[in-house]
Amino acid sequence: MLNPSFLDVSPEVERALGNAVPVVALESTIISHGMPYPRNVQTAMLVEAEVRTHGAVPATIAIIDGRLKAGLSAGDIEALGRGGRAVVKVSRRDIPFIVAAGRSGATTVASTMIIAAMAGIRVFATGGIGGVHRNAQQSFDISADLQELAQTPVAVVCAGAKSILDLGLTLEYLETHGVPVVGYQTNSLPAFFTRDSEFSVDYCLDTAAQVARVLHVKWAMSLKGGMVIANPIPQEFAMSRDVIGRAIAQALEEAHAQRISGKESTPFLLARVCELTGGDSLVANIELVLNNARLAAAIGAELCVLDRRW
């Protein structure tokens, strides 16, 4: 684990952690690589506001000028949004290089989990986790998010794995590494833009209090790793499986033809799916992140209640 002297926790987040006020970590790759400017900045501010509305403190995470940041200023978020894809996308392997060079970078699910854990933040809201890419048996393209979930004690509230991935292999990989996948009020794995899929989750829990209780017990027993809390997109914003399936299939073909792979593939695919759906997928993306922020705040609040009891 990196030396905490490299970490800056914002005063607001530090006060919240010190006073047992729930804190929700938020990633920054969604700002720089997830959607176009200025929609990305507007969405980041909306998500932070949603967390506050539901009684928690947001901690958007990034690397700014070589410093690990838990809690960004409005200026930091604006800079990441304006920089867009020119901003370095930072996963676990990239952290020491970006810090050593004094550069700025947007954190993925994996690196956000690392910095959140360093700061003492246990709940993280995002859109969807990375996973095993389609045709990974040839490419071996597997997101570092999955390994991070196996070793870092942060709960990730998401709308399942991104539907551009191989959901079945992603679940198999998580099972192999002991990462539980919990469906929030659902037995079916949400598929990001759609509320369900052909795959089942490991457990279904119906309340934030139930989720918090399991997390509390897991970590009290010193079991390492995090947990995936799969929260379906609200019904009114869910997309048709057929529509999103066709858009993803075309985007994957184009990515293959253009030899786009590795960490550049997800931003390309999401952007292309947005174009092919006439912007509908972007609206869905924003709404599912807001929905996850609400649930993460509720889980964080219940964890704080359990902390006080114990």
Q: Which of 27, 50, 148, 302 is catalytic?
A: 27
CA distances from 125 to 50, 89, 141, 248, 291 (A): 11, 18, 24, 24, 9
| Peptide bond between residue 38 and the one before it cis (omega within 30 degrees of 0) | yes
Asked whether the beta carbons of 179 and 146 are under 8 A apart, the reply is: yes
CA distances from 264 to 29, 45, 185, 231 (A): 12, 25, 33, 26
Asked whether the beta carbons of 89 and 142 are under 8 A apart, the reply is: no
263 annotated active-site = no
Q: Which of 14, 48, 50, 162 is catalytic?
A: 162
The Cα–Cα gap between 253 and 250 comes to 5
162 annotated active-site = yes
CA distances from 203 to 186, 219, 228, 247 (A): 9, 18, 11, 30
* Per-position DSSP letters for 62-97, written without gaps between them: EEETTEEEES--HHHHHHHHHHGGGSEEE-GGGHHH
**For residue 279, which of 239, 227, 231 has the smallest C-alpha distance?**
239
Residues with active-site annotation: 27, 162
